[in-house]
């Protein structure tokens, strides 16, 4: 069995390989919304929080992948401040 990453790394010893996610900075950054004033300015959606199941969240979009692919939508729960993303 061989494990191969999209970055080009390849391992022939898949049985003892530990898989982890590592973000390599390519000069791009993802901005998270921290303050209450930022939350007030975000557009709101009726979407269920996976953590507390509240049905309102602020959202913003960031182009995290290639320009020909859709932007990643980030959500932040109004109630518990949990942040999650939607890749679709």
Residues carrying an active site annotation: 68-69
Which strand (E) or helix (H) includes residue 2?
none
C-alpha 30/C-alpha 10 separation (Å) is 28
User: Mind giving me the DSSP string for 3-37?
Assistant: EE-TTS-EES-GGGPPP---PPP-S---PPP-SHH
């Amino acid at each position: 069995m061989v494990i191969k990453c999209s970055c080009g790394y390849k391992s022939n010893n898949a049985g003892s390989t530990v898989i982890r996610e590592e973000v390599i900075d390519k000069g791009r950054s993802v901005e998270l919304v921290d303050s209450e004033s930022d939350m007030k300015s975000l557009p709101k959606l009726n979407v269920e929080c996976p953590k507390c199941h509240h049905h309102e969240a602020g959202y913003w979009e960031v182009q995290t992948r290639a320009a020909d692919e859709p932007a990643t939508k980030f959500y932040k729960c109004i109630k518990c401040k949990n942040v999650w993303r939607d890749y679709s």
